[in-house]
Amino acid sequence: MIYNDDIYPIDGISFDIEKLQEQLREIQLTHPFSGEFKNCISLTQVPGNSADPRGIFWIRGDSGRELQREEHVDESKYTHLYDNFKSTYFKEVYDTLSSKFHLGRVRILKLEARGCLSYHRDPETRVHIPLITNPGALMVVDQFAVNLPADGRVYFTNTLKYHSVLNGGETERIHLVATVLKEK
């Protein structure tokens, strides 16, 4: 697989993909992808607050000007793993990622078959752990595209640059995505 400085596997961090997929199936029984954010299961929260708003991002409008979408979210406040996930393998994932990075929101995000996101940029970088994917699912950063396999590895994505994801496959694409505020 060919990667670049904007998308690459992080050395020394990986997880058991079969355990991750099993935990995903289990948590979907009690926390299905539904509600206002039907493609998101939040693993973290601001202590005492269960809201998980969409965060700020920017797109290039049809005029070519950059346009802000959504409002700023203080990612640094998302310091609490929801209690229902503390007895799952996702806690080990969270603890491991937290030992390497100062994290913001940690979520499981789904993209339906034949779907895509806008070409946009975020105020922070992200790490991805593909849980379910297919050969037609591509991560695109600054016009470089690659399929991230569901192999238990953690992938850095430079989402400060314009990026998107497209799922040209026949099945859904599900990733655990963590906002990285800075490395430790």
The 10s digit of each residue's pLDDT in 113-127 is 999 999 999 999 999
Cα separation, 134 vs 113, in Å, equals: 9
Q: Taking the complete model, does pTM exceed 0.85, yes or no? A: yes
**3-state SS, residue 131:** strand
Query: For position 81, what pLDDT does the model report?
Result: 95
Which tokens go with 47? 């202590």
Task: Check: CB of residue 79 under 8 Å from CB of residue 47.
Answer: yes
Which tokens go with 30? 């009690």
Query: For position 38, what pLDDT does the model report?
Result: 84
In 93-136, which ranges are E strands? 101-111, 115-116, 120-121, 125-132
Task: Check: CB of residue 128 under 8 Å from CB of residue 155.
Answer: yes
**3-state SS, residue 147:** coil
Residue 62 carries which side chain, given as an amino acid letter?
A: D
Q: Which residues are CB-neighbours of 95 under 8 A, at least 6 positions away? A: none
Instruction: Establish how many alpha carbons lie within 13 A of residue 57's alpha carbon, considering only the half-sphere containing its beta carbon.
Output: 19
Query: Burial, 61: exposed, middle or buried (Cβ in 10 Å; 0-12, 13-18, 19+)?
Result: exposed
**3-state SS, residue 61:** coil
Q: Which residues are CB-neighbours of 169 under 8 A, at least 6 positions away? A: 113, 114, 133, 134, 135, 136, 137
Task: Check: CB of residue 176 under 8 Å from CB of residue 20.
Answer: yes
Task: Check: CB of residue 78 under 8 Å from CB of residue 44.
Answer: yes
Q: Which residues of the chain have pLDDT under 70?
A: 37
Query: For position 49, what pLDDT does the model report?
Result: 86
